[in-house]
Structure 1
Amino acid sequence: MKMDIGLTHIALPVSDIEQSVQFYATYAAMKVVHRRIDAETGVAVVWLSDQTRPFVIVLIQSDSVHPVLSPLAHLGVGCPNREAMDALCERAEQEGVLLQSPKESGYPIGYWAFLRDPDGHTLELSYGQEIGLTVESNAR
């Protein structure tokens, strides 16, 4: 049987699981890959993935949320190009969730912006960080 090893997920408490699912679907191209009501606690749990790698965000419904991912702590998502990122940031600004407008910081940081999810956790959108390429080149 194949087992998961390495970093597989991050778990975030959320106050409205459906609102959070919608946020991460919109801004991080993630979709639900698992959904359940926990048998022991009766709490709703959702796993989200962008399906580019074996990693999920686990959303756990909670009555009380204290955001732990706030600038500088954040989740980072690479965008395919600046235009796509700018479009997401424009939407985020219209929806009142843009924390930091897009900024060019050069190599290795690239072009980036911060958004606030429904519970105050921070999502970074970026283009040009080359994290995947750096990991690949160091794995050889």
Structure 2
Amino acid sequence: MTIDLGLTHIALPVTDLDCSIQFYAVYAQMQVIHHRIDAETGVAVVWLSDRTRPFVIVLIQTSSVQSVLSPLAHLGVGCQSREVIDALCDKAKQEGFLLQAPKDSGYPIGYWAFLRDPDGHTLELSYGQEIGLTVEQTP
């Protein structure tokens, strides 16, 4: 029997599950890998994954969101290029999701921007942070 070890997920309350699923599909290339109605509470729950690692965002339907991940507390997604970030930020600006325009902060922070999801949680798009490479190279 295989069991999960280490950091596996973050759970976020959301008021409109479909809007949040769409937001994370577009801006973080995530897809639903699990969907259920909780038997005890009747609450809808989905797991989203970008399928690059065994980590998910758990979205939990709720009537209101009391606390959110604010800019300093955020989810971070590595992107393929600065151009991808620019294109996503152009779209986010049009849709009212852009919180912080792209900025180059040099190494190790890289090129990054902040978006706000439909419930106010912050998603960082970045290029050049090398977090995955640092983890792999650290003994």
Which TM-score tier does this pair reach, normalised by the shorter chain?
over 0.9
Name the SS of the counterpart of 2:100 in structure 1. strand
Query: Are the counterparts in 1 of residues 68 and 119 from structure 2 also a CA contact under 8 Å?
Result: no
Q: Deviations over 1:73-98 (max 9, x none)?
A: 00000000111111000000111110
Query: Are the counterparts in 1 of residues 109 and 129 from structure 2 also a CA contact under 8 Å?
Result: yes
5+ residue gaps in structure 1? none
Query: Are the counterparts in 2 of residues 113 and 124 from structure 1 also a CA contact under 8 Å?
Result: yes
Counterpart for residue 77 of structure 2:
77
Counterpart for residue 18 of structure 2:
18
Counterpart for residue 53 of structure 1:
53
Question: Please, what TM-score do these two structures have when normalized by structure 2?
Answer: 0.98
Number of positions where the alignment pairs a residue of Structure 1 with one of Structure 2: 139
Counterpart for residue 34 of structure 2:
34
**In structure 2, distance between residues paired with 1:92 and 1:67:** 22
Counterpart for residue 122 of structure 2:
122
**In structure 1, distance between residues paired with 2:67 and 2:126:** 21
Could you list the runs of 4 or more consecutive aligned residues of structure 1 that deviate by over 4 angstroms after TM superposition? none
CA apart distance, 1:27: 0.1
5+ residue gaps in structure 2? none
Amino acid at match of 2:92: A
CA RMSD, Structure 1 to Structure 2 (Å): 0.6
Query: Are the counterparts in 2 of residues 67 and 119 from structure 1 also a CA contact under 8 Å?
Result: no
Counterpart for residue 86 of structure 1:
86
CA apart distance, 1:125: 0.2
Question: Please, what TM-score do these two structures have when normalized by structure 1?
Answer: 0.98
Counterpart for residue 108 of structure 1:
108
**In structure 2, distance between residues paired with 1:111 and 1:122:** 16
CA apart distance, 1:30: 0.1
**In structure 2, distance between residues paired with 1:68 and 1:30:** 20
Counterpart for residue 137 of structure 2:
137
**In structure 2, distance between residues paired with 1:36 and 1:87:** 33
**In structure 1, distance between residues paired with 2:98 and 2:66:** 19
**In structure 2, distance between residues paired with 1:122 and 1:85:** 15
**In structure 1, distance between residues paired with 2:81 and 2:105:** 15
**In structure 1, distance between residues paired with 2:21 and 2:15:** 11
**In structure 2, distance between residues paired with 1:49 and 1:126:** 18
